[in-house]
């Protein structure tokens, strides 16, 4: 009799535990975001629609999605769906740009840069980079070395607007000065296009700033 009672209690406990458990869809994006919710629509090569616990509906292109998994939620009182970054996700880029001077002391130049960092939040990238500015009229080069922060505006379409800031130093191997470059642009799949102001102010020369048009290709997941 005692065994039967214990068995019934055990079965009831297991049943209640199973009922308390529920599942949610976990969507991993290439930019490092992790979205928990319910996938309400998913067409191969088309769009993915995810509804979160607060009723918000997010739409992504299929090529933005890296993986979809089911996750067991053991505590129903705990929020089942939220935005979180599972880990800092590596992201890099290579970039080609051209700069037109806005001051009387600067010459046009072509720039090559590469940057590397991570998404520390689904919509915040932080990292650093190094570049090469070639002044074809002056036959000289500058090497900018900088830290970078970029904020991405969340949207439900494939185009992701962003604003960014690069701050560091620039050198010609003879002197060192300030490097600063705020920008605004947008991302489409793995491509970035932005308009920036680039200032490189060497202490030994009157070098100023100009408007820069950048085209970049993103690396990483």
| Partner residues linked to 183 by β-bridges | 164, 196
Same domain, yes or no: 118 and 205: yes
Same domain, yes or no: 54 and 107: no
Same domain, yes or no: 65 and 97: no
Same domain, yes or no: 120 and 196: yes
pLDDT in tens, the chain (221 residues): 444 444 444 544 454 444 445 678 888 888 888 888 888 877 767 788 888 877 788 888 878 888 888 777 655 444 433 444 445 578 899 999 999 888 666 678 899 999 999 988 878 999 999 999 988 776 688 899 999 999 998 776 778 899 999 999 999 888 888 999 999 999 988 899 999 999 888 765 556 688 999 999 988 75
Can you tell me whether residue 177 is helix, strand or coil?
Answer: strand
DSSP 8-state symbol, 203 = S
What CATH number is associated with residue 116? 2.40.160.20
The size of the chain, in residues, is 221
Q: Which of 84, 102, 137 is the last residue of a domain?
A: 84
Q: Which of 59, 84, 109 is the last residue of a domain?
A: 84
Measure the CA dihedral 209/214/219/221, to 10°.
110
Same domain, yes or no: 106 and 208: yes
At 198, list the tokens: 């680039």
Q: Which of 84, 106, 123 is the last residue of a domain?
A: 84
Same domain, yes or no: 194 and 170: yes
Same domain, yes or no: 73 and 95: no
What domain count does the chain have? Answer: 2
pTM assigned to the model: 0.60
Question: What range defines the domain where residue 161 resides?
Answer: 89-220
C-alpha to C-alpha distance for 116 and 98, rounded to whole angstroms: 21
């Amino acid at each position: 009799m005692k065994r039967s009672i214990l068995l019934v209690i055990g079965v009831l406990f297991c049943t209640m535990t199973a009922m308390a458990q529920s599942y949610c869809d976990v969507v991993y994006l290439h930019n490092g975001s992790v979205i928990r919710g319910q996938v309400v629509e998913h067409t191969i090569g088309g769009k993915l629609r995810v509804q979160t616990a607060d009723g918000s509906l997010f739409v992504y292109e299929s090529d933005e999605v890296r993986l979809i998994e089911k996750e067991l939620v053991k505590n129903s009182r705990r929020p089942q769906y939220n935005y979180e970054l599972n880990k800092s996700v590596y992201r890099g880029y290579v970039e080609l740009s051209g700069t037109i001077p806005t001051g009387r002391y600067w010459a046009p130049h072509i720039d090559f840069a590469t940057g590397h960092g991570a998404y520390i939040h689904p919509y915040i990238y932080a990292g650093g980079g190094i570049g090469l500015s070639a002044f074809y009229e002056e036959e000289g080069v500058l090497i900018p070395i900088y830290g970078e922060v970029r904020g991405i505006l969340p949207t439900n379409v494939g185009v992701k607007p962003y604003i960014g800031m690069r701050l560091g130093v620039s050198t010609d191997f003879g002197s060192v000065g300030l490097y600063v470059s705020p920008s605004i642009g947008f991302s489409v799949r793995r491509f970035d296009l932005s308009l920036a102001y680039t200032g490189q102010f060497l202490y030994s020369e009157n070098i100023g700033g100009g408007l820069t048009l950048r085209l970049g290709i993103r690396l990483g997941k």
